Amino acid sequence: MARARVKLARILNESKRRATLKKRRLALIKSLQALCVLCKVKACMIVCDGLNDQSTDNVMVWPSRKEVKTMVANFNSVPEQKQNKKNVTHEKFLENMLVNEKSKLQALKKKNDQMEIEEILHKLHSAPTSIDLQSGKLSQAYFYIEELIKMIEEKESSS
């Protein structure tokens, strides 16, 4: 059975809040461990859960403080350009999606025009007097026929 959706709100009961934090933190560690093993990547995690009774930060690190310090130092030693190499902002992501969708739209328009021209040519072949051609469609049909002739000539010359 699926779990009920978690209500995202502050848990008022202190002991429940700490228990939930502990469970979620362990689940997060487990997921990160699986990611490291399955994808063979190095990763670390730092979780700050606020002030404790002694007014000091409770900081939890995974896998260990020494390894986390080493990973952070290695990351900071890499030039900033290389660190940000694969970073993508929302704007860049949306721009890339827009470019991809525009190219798909152009391809579909071209295919649609080609199908319309082929339909016109089939109608011309079967009943030439029953077709009312617009001048734009007629010129498109002419260029389409020219392209087909070039393709046929190229195939004949290559074989």
CATH number at residue 23: 3.40.1810.10
Structural domain for 143, as ranges: 90-158
Same domain, 24 and 74: yes
Task: Give tens-digit pLDDT for 109-156.
Answer: 989 988 888 887 787 778 766 666 665 677 777 788 888 889 899 988
- On average, the pLDDT of the chain sits at 85
Give pLDDT, residue 132.
64
**Is the pLDDT at 94 greater than 70, yes or no?**
yes
Same domain, 74 and 94: no
Task: Give tens-digit pLDDT for 7-22.
Answer: 888 888 888 988 888 8
Give pLDDT, residue 54.
58
Contacts with 45 (C-beta within 8 Å, 6 or more apart), sequence order: 28, 29, 32, 60, 61, 62, 68
Domain end point (choices 49, 78, 107) = 78
Contact 58, 48 (CB under 8 A): yes
What distance in Å separates the CA atoms of residue 100 and residue 119, rounded to the nearest whole number?
29
Same domain, 106 and 71: no
Contacts with 57 (C-beta within 8 Å, 6 or more apart), sequence order: 48, 50, 51
Same domain, 94 and 127: yes
Same domain, 153 and 98: yes
Give pLDDT, residue 53.
60
Q: Which of 33-37, 68-72, 80-84 has the lowest mean pLDDT?
A: 80-84
C-alpha 119: how far from its chain's center?
38
Contact 46, 67 (CB under 8 A): no
Same domain, 144 and 108: yes
**Is the pLDDT at 96 greater than 90, yes or no?**
yes
Domain end point (choices 31, 47, 78) = 78
Give pLDDT, residue 131.
61
2 falls within a domain: no
**Is the pLDDT at 51 greater than 60, yes or no?**
no
Higher pLDDT, 84 or 136: 84
Total number of residues shown for the chain: 159
Q: Work out how many domains the chain is built from and give that number.
A: 2
Same domain, 71 and 106: no
